[in-house]
Amino acid sequence: MNLIINHSSMQPIYEQIIGQIKEKIMHGELQEDTMLPSVRTLAKELKVSALTVKKAYDALEEEGFVNTVHGKGSFVACANQQMLLEEKRKEVEAELERAIRKGRSCGMNRDELRELFQIILEDE
């Protein structure tokens, strides 16, 4: 699996793994029932601890993106469109929050941010 780990990032490695696998599922690169690499295989490939990969797989399973069958491996779960849509909405919300913080850091007030948002929406 082609994942890129940034060891100098402030984001924990397991979160980088989770994010990239979710992206591949949401963009159809990983189809339903596709078997993921084993924990040890992916850990070796990424040169990270097997515990880090296990933590990522466990989180993906908890969120419903992956099903793990003991002794068989981890597989992409049924692509629940509602779940994928909610995940994308969370991403949009996070990006908007980042944009607001950035605007505030350069002195923009609520009205200026709202006006800018309206202008951008009208241009769409």
How crowded is residue 122: how many other Cβ atoms within 10 Å of its Cβ? 7
Decide if 8 is inside a domain: no
Residues 41 and 70 in one domain: yes
Q: Is 66 helix (H, G, I), strand (E, B) or coil?
A: strand
pLDDT of residue 75: 95
pLDDT of residue 96: 94
> How confident is the model over 51-110, as pLDDT tens digits?
999 999 999 999 889 999 989 999 998 766 677 778 788 889 999 999 999 999 999 999
Segment 30-46 shows an average pLDDT of 95
Amino acid at 69: V
pLDDT, averaged across the chain: 91
Which structural domain, as residue segments, surrounds residue 50? 13-76
pLDDT of residue 81: 64
Give the CATH number of the domain where residue 32 resides. 1.10.10.10
How crowded is residue 74: how many other Cβ atoms within 10 Å of its Cβ? 24
Residue 26 has pLDDT above 90, yes or no: no
pLDDT of residue 27: 81
Residues 47 and 96 in one domain: no
Residue 4 has pLDDT above 80, yes or no: yes
Residues 88 and 72 in one domain: no
User: Which one, of 28, 45, 36, 39, lies nearest residue 81 by Cα?
Assistant: 28
Residues 41, 33 contacting (CB under 8 angstroms): no
Residues 104 and 65 in one domain: no
This prediction has a pTM of: 0.69
Residues 17 and 67 in one domain: yes
pLDDT of residue 87: 78
Q: How far apart are CA 38 and CA 42, in angstroms?
A: 6
Q: What percent of the chain has pLDDT over 90?
A: 72
- At CA 12, angle to CA 52 and CA 49, rounded to 5? 25
Residues 27 and 66 in one domain: yes
Residues 76, 30 contacting (CB under 8 angstroms): yes
Domain count, the chain: 2
Decide if 46 is inside a domain: yes
- HEC string of 67-113 equals EEECCCEEEECCCCHHHHHHHHHHHHHHHHHHHHHHHHHCCCCHHHH
Amino acid at 108: M
Residues 36 and 89 in one domain: no
Residues 20 and 70 in one domain: yes
